[in-house]
Amino acid sequence: MAKGMTHRGSTFRSSEQTPQIFLQKQQGWGRSSALKTRQQLKWAVYICAILFCLQALLESVDAKPVLASSLGFCKKVPVLKGAPLHCCLPSPKRKPIRFRSPRIPRTLTGRLILRERKPAHVLQRDPKYVRKYNLAYARMKALPDTDPRSFLNQWRVHCSFCNEAFKQRKTPGPLGPETGVPLQVHYSWTFLPWHRMYLYYHERILASLINDPTFALPFWNWDNQLDQDAAMIPAMFLSNFSVPNAALFDEFRNSNHFPPKILHLGYNSKLEAEGKQNLTNQQIRYENLCVMYNQVVTKISARDFLGGPYVVGTDNSAATVNASAGEVPGESGGMENAHNVAHEWTGLINDPNHPDNEDMGNFIYAARDPIFYSHHSNVDRLWDVWKTIPDKVTKSGSRKRMDYTSRDFLDSEFTFYDENQDMVIVKVRDSLDSSKLGYKFTDVSKSDKMWINYEPLPPHQSPKKSNSSDYPAAAPSGYNYIGTDPVSFRLDRRAPTKEIARQRGVKNVDQLQENVVLEKVKIPHSEYARFDVFINYPAANRQTHLYMSEYVGTFTHLPSGMVDMSKSVSESSSKSEKFRIVTIRYCVNAALRRLGITDYNTDIIVTIVSKGARNSSPKTGFTFTNLKQDFQ
């Protein structure tokens, strides 16, 4: 972009100068030279026009990627209990460098030798690996605070980039001028790429600390419902393990969820606190498959899976969204929303002494727990898996899953510290192919297939068929409320047009995914929220199983102490409360098919089941501006 701008500048300058030079020189010239010059002028005009068009084209595709570094402004991050946290990072000792693809060793026949990230539940049976893994963290934890590779500083990377300690920048490079807008890498398309590069450097640092370039992080294979222990907190992170593992241990985890409990993606801390979440292991596994199916498989477009755009100026922690100024609300993708549940389930939730749900249950603290990196290793893996899943969702059955291709996405820029303590400037485009980063994941496709090919139970047979006209439509751009009781709305549907298909970059309307979109849900930073959505099942409630045909997906918001807690709870609705404005997208093609709805004339009933705000009175709820149909 900077290049393009200088280009236009110089073009204008030459076109301004040309006529004057031309006039001055023309006086003494003969006829033929005047003609020649006229021709030259014509050419100059053509070239100018072409350059101008090129520039305009470039600008139309190249808006404003988010640019960020950990230098310059950095504010402390407030928490609910205790003093605000200092998450800022040390300055680099040398000039920041640009990312360069690592040299990857090859076999004699030229095949790449990739480091292999293996499932944690398998690796923990290998004492040699656990010793190495523990040693790497022990050494990382022993590094001084001034060293950007230290465990404390590794935690800070997450705490700062994920909790708005920094500001976005106006121009590329780590020292470009700052905009006034805080930086947040969750709730958008930056979620997967940023965390991938964060883990990449984290892994490189661990590897260098034990002088083992082949070292790779494990992945906590919590989506795996095939192996008994895969979805449990891996024992190697817990005390009383057979091999010394002190450096992998963290005291702030929910002991109610220790093995043999398995991670429940339908988990709701509120229901659990009320003693109403009593599912059998088999039911939990079905719900897990169903959540994975709805959060990964049905998400066919980049927007559905990776999340919404995040460009300079986007402030998803603002209390209002000024759409006319180009601001967009936060929009987490399906993967991010599923991943949030694992955070919630692992951290200290429902513990009055720990209102911040440390460690995993709050993004501010999450990276203090070594299990965080193993959890994200699985999230990273699922991004790779997603790209390989056959369509099975759209009418065409032929759509490829692809990352965004826009330059706003590809040129988004962040900084990390590498194993040599150098600050590296990384672009999203550097992150898209894990093999180019030198690693791969153990193939666990047998268990992946369980959720990829998941079939929910048949639709409920409601005694009296619900009539969509019995329900109100949401007030467009107005005030809509989700309380602790489920709410149902009628959603008027229409067929997608060719124009929409064109805008979305697909060949025809049959390649589109139909979305139900909850627009601009307003959630206080300090609140927990979970919304599960059902189609044509208004009887759905907080205890309805998620492995039913009518269920179409979930959204979870983790509370984070981004509010000044010197204010009491009753005051928290005052101006000092910070909100997150998020748009939530549910994918409904597959569900509609299961429910026998094959046309676009049939309106549907959308039931939003809020799993309740923490510490809430019955009246506590959330507002949103609209419920609408969209296509991706």
Least distance to ligand C2O from the beta carbon of 369, Å?
11
Q: Which residue has the tokens 């021709």?
A: 39
Counting every residue written for the chain, the total comes to 632
Look up residue 475 and give its DSSP letter: -
Q: Is the peptide bond prior to 260 cis by the omega test (within 30 degrees of 0)? A: yes
Q: Which of 374, 607 has the CB closer to ligand C2O?
A: 374
Q: Measuring CA to CA, how many Å separate 188 from each of 178, 302, 304, 523, 582?
A: 20, 11, 10, 16, 10
Shortest CB 363 distance to ligand C2O, Å: 5
Rounded to whole angstroms, the Cα distance separating 171 from 151 reads 30
Q: Which is nearer to ligand C2O, 155 or 534 (CB)?
A: 155
β-pair type (551-557, 622-624)? unpaired
Q: Angle at which helices 151-161 and 127-142 pack, to 10 degrees? A: 80
Q: Tell me how many helices (H) and strands (E) the chain has.
A: 15, 16
Helix (H) or strand (E) holding 581: strand 579-587
Least distance CB 417 / ligand C2O (angstroms): 17
Secondary structure in 3-state letters for 501-532? HHHCCCCCHHHCCEEEEEEEEEEECCCCEEEE
Q: Chain-centre distance of CA 338, in angstroms?
A: 10
- C-alpha 361/C-alpha 347 separation (Å) is 4
Binding site for ligand C2O (CB under 6 A): 158, 162, 186, 195, 339, 343, 363, 366, 376
**567's tokens:** 């204010």
Which position's Cβ is nearest ligand C2O?
162
- Nearer to ligand C2O among residue 263 and residue 512 (C-beta): 263
Among 369, 131, 341, 616, residue whose Cα is nearest residue 360: 369
Nearer to ligand C2O, 509 or 562 (CB): 562
- Please tell me the distance from the alpha carbon of residue 408 to that of residue 328, in angstroms, as a whole number: 14
Cβ 361 to ligand C2O, closest distance in Å? 11
Distance CA 170, CA 333 (A): 26
Q: Name the nearest CA neighbour of 96 among 144, 145, 148.
A: 148
Neighbouring CB atoms inside 10 A of 15's CB total 16
**Rounded to the nearest whole angstrom, what is the least distance from the CB of residue 555 to ligand C2O in the complex?**
15
Task: State the nearest-atom distance from the C-beta of 624 to ligand C2O, in Å.
Answer: 24
Could you tell me the smallest distance in angstroms from the CB atom of residue 423 to ligand C2O?
Answer: 20
Contact yes or no for 554/534 (Cβ under 8 A): no
CB of 570 to ligand C2O, least distance (A): 31
> Which lies closer to ligand C2O via its Cβ, residue 158 or residue 270?
158
Closer of 186 and 427 to ligand C2O (Cβ): 186
Shortest separation between residue 430's beta carbon and ligand C2O, angstroms: 19
Closer Cβ to ligand C2O, 190 or 589, answer by number: 190
For residue 305, the minimal CB distance to ligand C2O (Å) is: 16
Report the residue number, 359 or 418, with the smaller CB distance to ligand C2O. 359
Radius of gyration of the chain (CA): 27
Nearer to ligand C2O, 194 or 579 (CB): 194
CB of 158 to ligand C2O, least distance (A): 6
Q: CB-wise, 366 or 604, nearer to ligand C2O?
A: 366
Q: Would you say 362 or 610 has its CB closer to ligand C2O?
A: 362
Residue 178's beta-bridge partner residues?
169
CB 236 within 8 A of CB 225: no
